[in-house]
């Protein structure tokens, strides 16, 4: 799945870079490539693929092949922007018969219609959201990366649970977990930090959790959601905005409002579970 995902993301950024160059927006092309290479390839894919590289046989071979493909195509995409650096790095890649003597003569990547894989993006996105939620909570509590903790996920639909079960090893490694399980209700432990991600509640078992401080933090989150919903309500009540803005912008505002309301309800439920008054 992670191989499908990174190739899908590379295909998308290839199309975005092509469009940016055709519009003479070299700044946009550079920005998209920077964020793809750093935020998606390095920060996520390389970290997830490490366990495959430690395996033996076809699993490792496939991981190495995808790493090569992404690295090669990204260097070619970057070449018009940073020619000398990309030439130097490209020369260090293993050579293939079809390769020329220089990256200058290599075919420039083009987006492919068969390279779209939205299912992989949705599934990896779910795992990334859970990992980011746990990482944020760890950082807020200054929990050292070497400390392994346990996380419990409440409210997962069957399809979400299937996806996360399949990616459990990635979630555990990237979030620094000793265990990751699904529950029907919030645990009663005193040392639980709860965070909301979409319609899910992530309960993170940490030592010495200050329940009062946790309630205050959730209340602040709730205040932020209420304020954002209020801003959207004001915007959607503006007849000028609704009638003049493009339809996709108005629909996006409505969808965002529904998402915020769902998150608001989850926070309110969590506060109730914690006994907040």
Query: Partners of 82 in the beta sheet?
Result: none
Residues 43 and 137 in one domain: no
Q: Is residue 190 part of a domain?
A: yes
Residue 259 is assigned to a structural domain of this protein: yes
- From 185, 209, 233, the end of a domain falls on 209
- Full domain range(s) for residue 263: 211-277
Q: Do 185 and 204 sit in the same domain of this protein? A: yes
How would residue 125 be classed by pLDDT, with cut points 50, 70 and 90?
A: very high
Task: Check whether residue 190 and residue 232 sit in a common domain.
Answer: no
Above 80 in pLDDT, residue 34?
Answer: yes
Residue 80 has pLDDT above 70, yes or no: yes
Per the model's pLDDT, the better-predicted residue between 236 and 270 turns out to be: 236
* 176 and 217 co-located in one domain: no
Is 126 a domain residue? no
Can you read off the two tokens belonging to residue 102? 């220089």
Strand partners, 205: 150, 192
Say how many domains are in the chain. 3
- At 98 the pLDDT is 67
Task: Examine the domain organization and report whether 6 and 96 are in the same domain.
Answer: yes
Q: Which residue has the higher pLDDT, 228 or 114?
A: 228
Q: What is the mean pLDDT of residues 112-133?
A: 89
88 plus 13 within the same structural domain:
yes
Average pLDDT over residues 236-246: 92
Q: In the predicted model, is pLDDT for residue 89 greater than 80?
A: yes
Within 10 angstroms of residue 130's Cβ, the number of other Cβ atoms is 26
**Amino acid 71: pLDDT:** 93
Is the pLDDT at 236 greater than 80? The verdict is yes
pLDDT band for position 113 (cuts 50, 70, 90): confident
**Distance between CA atoms of residues 57 and 47, nearest Å:** 20
Whether residue 155 lies inside any domain: the answer is: yes
pLDDT level of residue 250 (50, 70, 90 thresholds): very high
Q: What percent of the chain has pLDDT over 70?
A: 94
Phi/psi of residue 177, nearest 5 degrees = -105, 145
| Distance of alpha carbon 191 from alpha carbon 214, whole angstroms | 10
Output the average pLDDT for the chain: 88
Report pLDDT for 42.
92
Instruction: Note whether 219 and 269 are same-domain residues.
Output: yes
* For range 250-266, the mean pLDDT: 90
Within a domain: residue 117?
A: no
What sign does the CA torsion over 149, 165, 135, 228 have?
negative
How far apart CA 223 and CA 135 sit, in angstroms, is 22
Both 90 and 160 in one domain: the answer is no
Q: Are residues 194 and 218 in the same domain?
A: no
**Of 117 and 70, the one with more pLDDT:** 70
Higher pLDDT, 88 or 272: 88
Over residues 185-231, the pLDDT tens digits come to: 877 765 788 888 888 999 988 766 567 777 888 899 899 999 999 99
- CB 254, CB 236: distance < 8 Å: yes
pLDDT of residue 277: 62
Rounded distance, CA 32 to CA 26, Å?
A: 10
CATH number at residue 272: 1.10.287
Asked if 16 contacts 8 with a C-beta cutoff of 8 angstroms, the reply is no
Residue 123 lies in a domain: no
pLDDT 10s digits, 93-107 = 887 666 778 888 888
Mark whether 203 and 222 lie in a shared domain: no
pLDDT at 127: 93
Same domain, 245 and 191: no
Any domain includes 120:
no
- Whether residues 142 and 218 fall in one domain: no
Residue ending a domain, among 209, 244, 267, is: 209
CATH assignment at residue 39: 1.10.730.10
Q: Residues 154, 198: contact at Cβ < 8 Å?
A: no
User: In the prediction, which pLDDT does 274 show?
Assistant: 66
Domain C-terminal end among 186, 209, 232: 209
Q: Is the pLDDT of residue 79 over 80?
A: yes
Within a domain: 221: yes
**Mean pLDDT of the 124-142 span:** 87
pLDDT at 145: 84
């Amino acid at each position: 799945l992670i191989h499908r995902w990174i190739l899908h993301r590379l295909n998308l950024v290839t199309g975005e870079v092509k469009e940016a160059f055709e519009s003479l927006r070299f700044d946009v092309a550079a920005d998209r490539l920077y964020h793809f290479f750093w935020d998606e390839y390095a920060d996520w894919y390389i970290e997830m693929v490490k366990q495959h590289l430690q395996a033996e046989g076809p699993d490792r071979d496939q991981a190495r092949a995808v790493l090569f493909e992404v690295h090669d195509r990204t260097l070619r995409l970057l070449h018009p922007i940073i020619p000398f650096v990309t030439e130097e790095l490209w020369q260090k890649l293993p050579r293939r018969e079809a390769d020329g003597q220089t990256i200058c003569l290599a075919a420039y990547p083009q987006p492919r219609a068969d390279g779209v894989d939205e299912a992989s993006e949705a599934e990896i996105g779910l795992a990334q959201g859970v990992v980011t939620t746990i990482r944020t909570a760890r950082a807020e509590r200054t929990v050292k990366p070497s400390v392994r903790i346990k996380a419990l996920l409440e409210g997962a639909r069957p399809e979400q649970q299937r996806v996360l079960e399949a990616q459990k090893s990635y979630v555990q490694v990237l979030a620094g977990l000793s265990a990751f399980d699904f529950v029907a209700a919030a645990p009663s432990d005193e040392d639980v930090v709860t965070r909301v991600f979409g319609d899910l509640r992530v309960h993170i078992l940490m030592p010495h959790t200050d329940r009062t401080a946790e309630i205050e933090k959730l209340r602040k989150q709730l205040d932020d959601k209420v304020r954002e919903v209020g801003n959207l309500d004001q915007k959607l009540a503006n007849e000028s905005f609704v009638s003049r803005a493009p339809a996709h912008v108005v629909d996006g505002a409505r969808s965002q409002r529904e998402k915020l309301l769902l998150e608001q309800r989850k926070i309110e439920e969590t506060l109730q579970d914690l006994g907040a008054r």
